[in-house]
Amino acid sequence: MTLNLERRALITGASSGIGKATALAFAEAGIHLALVSRSRSRLDAVAEQARQFGVKVQVCPVDLAEVAQVRSQIATIADEFTPLDILVNNAGMGYTGSLIDMPLADWQQVLNLNVTSVLQCIQGVLPGMRQRHQGTIINVASIAAHQTFPDWGAYCVSKFGLLALSKTLAAEERAHGIRVITVSPGSVNTPIWDTDTVQADFDRTQMLTPQVVAQSILHAALVPQEAVIEELILMPNTGTF
């Protein structure tokens, strides 16, 4: 699928999982890319694959956990990679553990990466989008933005918060021609299940694949500018989590 109109997208968490799959889906659709993640080497590998579709790809190593620096770093990328049409806030972390035992530092880490860094990314791109009276911001949330799960309290709070951020942003920016989309997948078979902060024993073969989620993100991004898919909940066909 090739677009007649050139578009540019910035994708966070682009080195693996949903972010990587979205980068490749966007590249195949002819969308130029700015890829953000911590690891330059892993981003370079994704960029090499994406460039095979003939698009321009800029690699941008940023540690989104360093929230005080994120806004200025993303603003710089957006200024260099202009005009930026699409922002996909995909980066985030999982966390399991009961609320009664959760250390404050862990709580703050989850909220910083899953909510605060998203706000900072949004603030980095909004001025340019407002100036052009056009832009699409896609926030990747979770089914945990709509229902709670025991031992996933901090994660659920962060995703409920992200959904509220999206809804408020949509109300504020609609008059400026900016669309805000929330994509909430059920469980997705990504490296999040292999991280030290997640202890869960699920059948990953029954989960969504990153590629399926990426196609849904691409579809939402390419809806004609006069319309918007405000919320998209994507669940595995098996009907579980």
Nearest to 189 by CA among 35, 11, 59, 20: 20
pLDDT score, position 3: 41
Element (H, E) at 211: helix 210-221
- Give the per-residue pLDDT at 200: 79
Termini Cα distance of the chain: 32
The alpha-helical segments, DSSP class H, found in 60-185 are 67-80, 104-111, 117-132, 153-173
How many CB atoms neighbour CB 131 within 10 A?
A: 12
pLDDT computed for residue 240 by the predictor? 56
CB 38 within 8 A of CB 12: no
Nearest to 134 by CA among 142, 146, 125: 125
In order along its 241 residues, the chain shows pLDDT tens digits of 344 479 999 999 999 999 999 999 999 999 999 999 999 999 999 999 999 999 999 999 999 999 999 999 999 999 999 999 999 999 999 999 999 999 999 999 999 999 999 999 999 999 999 999 999 999 999 999 999 999 999 999 999 999 999 999 999 999 999 999 999 998 887 777 678 887 877 777 788 999 999 999 999 999 999 999 999 999 987 655 6
Question: Is residue 149 classed exposed, middle or buried when 0-12, 13-18 and 19+ CB atoms within 10 A define those classes?
Answer: middle
The answer to whether residues 9 and 32 touch, using CB atoms and an 8 Å cutoff, is yes
To the query of whether residue 155 is one of the catalytic residues in this protein, the response is yes
For residues 30 and 127, what is the distance between their CA atoms, to the nearest angstrom?
A: 25
Residue with tokens 């995909």: 90
Gyration radius of the chain over CA positions:
17
| Given 26, 95, 152, 155, the catalytic residue | 155
Looking at the DSSP bridge assignments, the partners of residue 231 are 182
pLDDT at 97: 95
Domains of the chain and any CATH numbers = 7-234 (3.40.50.720)
Q: What is the pLDDT of residue 197?
A: 81
